Structure 1
Amino acid sequence: MGKRSAIHSQSNPKLPPEEPTSPPENPSSSTEIPLPPQKIRKLSSKNKESQQPEPEPEPQPQVPNSEDSSIAKPSDPTPSETPNTLLPIISVNPLTLDGEIDLALNHLRSSDPLLTSLIDSYRRPSFESDPSPPFLSLTKSILYQQLAPNAAKAIYKRFVSLCGSESEVVPDNVLALDAAELRKIGISGRKATYLHDLANNDPTPSETPNTLLPIISVNPLTLDGEIDLALNHLRSSDPLLTSLIDSYRRPSFESDPSPPFLSLTKSILYQQLAPNAAKAIYKRFVSLCGSESEVVPDNVLALDAAELRKIGISGRKATYLHDLANKYKDGVLSDSSILEMDDESLVTKLTLVKGIGVWSVHMFMIFSLHKPDVLPVGDLGVRKGVQRLYGLKELPLPLQMEEICEKWKPYRSVGSWYMWRLMEAKGVVDSV
């Protein structure tokens, strides 16, 4: 009877204190007088039809609590039975596995009818198919604590820049940054302690870069035959692109690209200007420097805001140009390092420059570096092209763009190029 009472009490665990309820009366609380086995059998037989078994109380939800006596401890009489009976551990597949979301939605529809209308009304759940390494995710979690999203993003970018790139956010590099360095980029002493504690307790620091973040080498679009490979891939992976590929001219990219510094200065000067006005200002700017080959950091820094204003460059853009030149002078950026960076590092490093945002970096990567797999999710022309191509009711959001254009990999730059052609033909965007 003692064992039966123990199991019964475990099926009614304590609820959290913030949700107090009146505990059900315990039917076994009264004193029981043991009867001989023969007497029990006679009473059971005699009252078989008249007595109905007492229904079991409806089980209450299990709330794990370190102080809850209902969770088996080494001193419990049957500790081996408790985990399997009360807290079963179920092994499940990750949600990124093919078909797992479908299984989840089917289960939720059948198990809870109230969820059906929500499932039908909202977009399908999505999770990153290539998650960040745990160490990187945990450092990001620490940095984002108790901060507004924009402030957190800015600090995180500066932190990644200190480490080198996201693939270099590893324990050794984090431990190399002292509290003073971290404080300069807005990380409090308390959070610096948290980061160092995490880095000191990571069991496999040396495995993180190679195991979790493989670096994939891809050829530039100017390489012989690369455009043919891209078009063949896009035809086979997305039939909707076939008609566009057949209808519009073949993509072309300059075989002799400009130096990165020159391309970035041009990008700054062209921002928010009509093409003809931008060309005129760019020509005057190059003339001030001497020639395009002389558009270098030292010469740009030698031009003060007043000189630049005379040729139509605003004070704000003068600040942007000087900040870019100073990043080169300080060794944060260089033409050679830019050419060697992976796509993620390019976005991280270049957006440190005032006046250069993610969109500008994406354009630079496609049209100056000729990177094959860039999807400018913030470009209005590309978004409108995807909306029209797939017949979407609303303009796709950046996350939706990533999902829809996944099939274009590793040639999303070329797929984007055709979105511009599509919208250019409709008169929505200027020629790109």
Structure 2
Amino acid sequence: MASAAEQLAANINFSSLTKNEDLQRRIWFTLGALLVYRLGSYIPIPGIDTAAIAQFTQQNASGILGWMNGLAGGALGRMAIFALNIMPYISASIIMQLMTTVSPQLEALKKEGESGRKKINQYTRYGTVILAAMQAYGIAIGLEGRGGLVLNPGPFFIASTVITLTGGTVFLMWLGEQITARGIGNGTSLIIFSGIVANLPAGVAALLELGRKGLLSPFVIMGILVLAIAVVAFIVFFERAQRRLLIQYPKRQVGMRLTQAESSHLPLKLNTSGVIPPIFASSLLLLPLTVANFSAGKGPAWFNEIVAMLGHGKPLFLIMYALLIVFFCFFYTSIMFNPKETADNLKKSGGFILGIRPGDQTAEYLDRILTRITVIGAAYIVVICLIPEMLVGYSGIPFYFGGTSLMIVVSVTLDTVAQIQGHLLTQQYERLMKKSTLRTRGR
């Protein structure tokens, strides 16, 4: 079966894509939705001085504001209606998943299946609105505190800004869900992906501009590009790496027929959590700093010192970033893979791991293997995200060459391509089944 699947996958080409109308509709829907997102990132909120906003963003491009602007696809720098991007939704998802593990009521909802999942998603949407409104209010107050950024300060500006930015986030949340359901790939990840990719040409231009001004030598620029290529290759290798556990199925009596002993593999990805840990870690770091960026140092002295230490590339920022990545690697892996449930399913189907007794011992073995794999996966993500971030913080390299952005781009690309191949592979199987049926009838 494995060789047949590989042969089918090898036969997938562009002509297969042109024959799959459903997949074409999904791809066009995804592209259209992302185009709407990009158009919205250029529509400014009412009541601001766009020229002053652009100057303010340029002056703070090397700090946390530039990092946030990169994740938002430049929408924050233009103070567009999508300035908050999808980050409040991600933050609300983190909070709901954490609460699911500690709240018996939410855990019971999760076990109810589709109906429980819909209720949890509804609570996540409510949380998104609350978080987005809080962040939008902080941005509105901060903009008013910066002289010259707002044309007509006052309650009307604050109210319109909160409504506009919150509405923009809710629309992106809905758009991401539509992409996931009717398009191809994960909608939330693709929205972040499209923002980073859209700003990539500007990042290359900024890097070349630093070389033209003599701030970076040609050898340094070449080194940065080589490093980016090496990081991409490193990410692809680790994202495709997996530990394959051999599963044995003994001979079984099915009616009057005795089936032969079989074997298969249980694949455990080295990075089970995917791109979620750096995205979640970024969103949590950005949440408290969104308002602080616009406070212009008017807060308490101790608070301003913490904000300064949390600047892009600073030691405290790197430490917090690494700890959050490790935490979310283990947390999200525990949600994605349940060793006890997997062991029970293997036991019900008669499968077992050589040398391991089915049941609790299998669950303990899977948990032990998964923990070791997650340690390696977490270390890989920390290295990928932190080393380039150090270069960004200390050398002024554009954010687009950071490890987090490269990992998001590569991981989302691999996931989307895998889903496209899955659709094409399904079509190949359906065609084979139809041919087999026609041949059987012909006989």
TM-score interval (norm. to shorter)? under 0.3
Q: TM-score, normalised by structure 1?
A: 0.25
Relative contact order (alpha carbons < 8 A, sep ≥ 6): 1 or 2 greater? 2
**Structure number having the greater strand percentage:** 2
TM-score, structure 2 as length reference:
0.24
